[in-house]
Every structure is written in C-alpha cells, then in structure tokens.
Amino acid sequence: MTDATLISPRAGTRTTGQKVTRLALRYGLYALLFLFALYYLLPLFVMVSTSLKSLDEIRTGSLVALPREVTFEAWKTAWSGACTGIQCEGLKPYLWNSLLIAIPGVAISTIIGALNGYVFAQWRFRGANLMFALILFGCFIPFQVVLLPMARMLGLMGLAGSIPGLIFVHVVYGLGFTTLFFRNYYVTIPMELVRAAKIDGAGFFRIFWSIFLPISLPIIVVSVIWQFTQIWNDFLFGVSFSEAGTQPVTVALNNIVNSTTGVKAYNVDMAAAILAALPTLLVYVVAGKYFIRGLTAGSVKG
C-alpha cells in the first residue's frame, strides 16, 4: 500500500478549512485595526475639516462633514494674525522662537548625554552608580517642583525671560533622559574595543570620536526625536520662564484660543493647533521607524 492511499480525503478538507479560518481571522484583524485607525484619526479629520470652513458653515453644518466651500482664511489668520473683527495674534514669530529653543536644546543635550552615557558605560570610577542613579532620579521629578528654584537660578544667571534661559532649562531637564538612552546603548559595546584602543594609545575623546560616535546613529535619532518632542510640546516652562517676544509656540497657541472676543473662531483655533503640531508630526513621519529601531538597538547585550 502506497503513502498516497493512506492519506484520508478528510485531511485535505481539514487543511482547506484551516486556511479559510486563518484568512478569516487575518482579515477580521485587519478590519478591527482599520476601525481603530479611523477612531484615532477622526479628531485630526475634524480639525482639518473645521479649519477649511467659514464660521457660518461651522455654525450651520455638521461637525464631521466635509467643507462645502474650502477656504484658507483661517490658516492665514492663524499664521499672520490678520484677523477681521477678532482680536488674535499669529503663530509665525512664535514658531521661530520654538525653533530657536528646540534646535540648540536638542543638540546640546544630545552631545552631553552621549558623553555622559559613554563615561557611565565604559569608564568605571568610584561613585559612578550613585551618580547615575541621581541623574535618573532627576527624570522623575515633576516639573512643578523645580519652577521656583529654576526661576531663582535663571535670575542669578541673568537669563530670566530669555530664549537662552529656556534653552538652559530644557538642556538641564533633558540630560537625564539622554544620558539614560546613551548609557544603555553603549553598555552593549564590548569592553575589548576600548581596551584595544587604549593599548594603541587612544585617549578619552579619541575613543569616543573614532569608535562610539560612528555607531551611535540609532540612539542619536532616539535622543533627537525625544528631546525635540519634549521641548516643542512644552507649555509649563514656556509660560513660566518667558516673556513677551520670547514665548514658544505652545504659549502663543494658548493665547490665540483664549484671547478671541465676540464670535468664537473655531476654524482659526483648529488651524493654529495643526500649525503648532506640524513639526513634531513631520519628525515622527520621517524618522518614526528609526525611533523604534534605536529604542531596541541596545536592548540586548552581547
């Protein structure tokens, strides 16, 4: 009797049934994920749709309906502040302020965090674990706790109400996170590389520049995205340590939403909110996959 005669006809039917079940489960999962995506994207759709409507259409139409007549007047108002009958101020100068704060803050905190992580991971010294624990402790201190001491410090340094003062605040508060990122990444690099470099006569900065920095791109991306998002979206430090002319975009957005008089300009509010969120959205769209890769790059040692 051959092997073919031993195969039951039911086996093929059972295999076909299993394939159908797997396909049904797969497409059911896709449909569920599609519904979740629609649910989470609905607020964004409402924001974009409302920003493209006139005030009359907003008052008389449906919240989730597409605009009957697309207009970009709300976007112009949110950008330049050229309001008609409504008191408001545009986001243009404040977006520039946020860039002036975010770019140096991200660069400085990333560079210092890389050096700190390099030291804590590869250069052992007495008290290193205690110092690293204290730095990590700083990551979990609530913002509100440091407001008064930080305000006093900025006053003594002559940086109160200035953009350099806000840069200093974000660098100090972000160092704990960037140090943690780089330390966890560098600890996976074999110590033999450092020992071999020392034998060849390489010093502290030579080893960092020639060995560690070239392989640090994934964790640099993580640090940049994390810090840029934290600095750009910050409101508490911005409203506490800035003054007129140095306020970041989040403070300006709050002013636009709360400073209108008479008829509430919902289309302007929505357009301003999208403009304020656009840089971080673009950062995640462009570099989001590298953020995930960087987070998992140092998760396994060896």
* Selection from 163, 289, 178 nearest residue 224 by Cα: 178
| DSSP type of residue 73 | H
Q: How far is Cα of residue 122 from the mean position of the Cα atoms in its chain?
A: 28
CB 154, CB 220: distance < 8 Å: no
Alpha helices (H) along the chain: 3-6, 9-51, 55-60, 73-80, 92-122, 128-139, 143-157, 163-186, 191-199, 204-207, 217-233, 236-240, 249-259, 266-297
> Which residue from 265, 263, 258 is spatially nearest to 71, judged by alpha carbons?
265
Which letter does DSSP use for residue 66 in this model?
P
- Whole-angstrom Cα Rg for the chain: 27
Q: What is the pLDDT along the chain (302 residues), one digit of tens a residue?
A: 455 445 555 555 567 778 888 888 888 999 999 999 999 999 899 999 999 998 888 888 777 888 888 889 889 988 987 544 444 568 889 999 999 999 999 999 999 999 999 999 888 788 888 888 888 888 888 888 888 999 999 999 999 989 999 999 999 999 999 999 999 898 888 888 888 888 888 888 888 898 888 888 889 989 999 999 999 999 999 999 988 889 999 999 988 888 755 667 888 889 999 999 999 988 888 877 777 776 666 555 54
* pTM score, whole prediction: 0.82
Domain 92-297 has CATH 3.40.980.10: no
- 20 vs 45: CA distance, rounded Å: 36
Q: Who's near 150: CB < 8 A, 6+ residues apart? A: 169, 241
Q: What pLDDT, on a 0 to 100 scale, did the predictor assign at position 262? A: 60
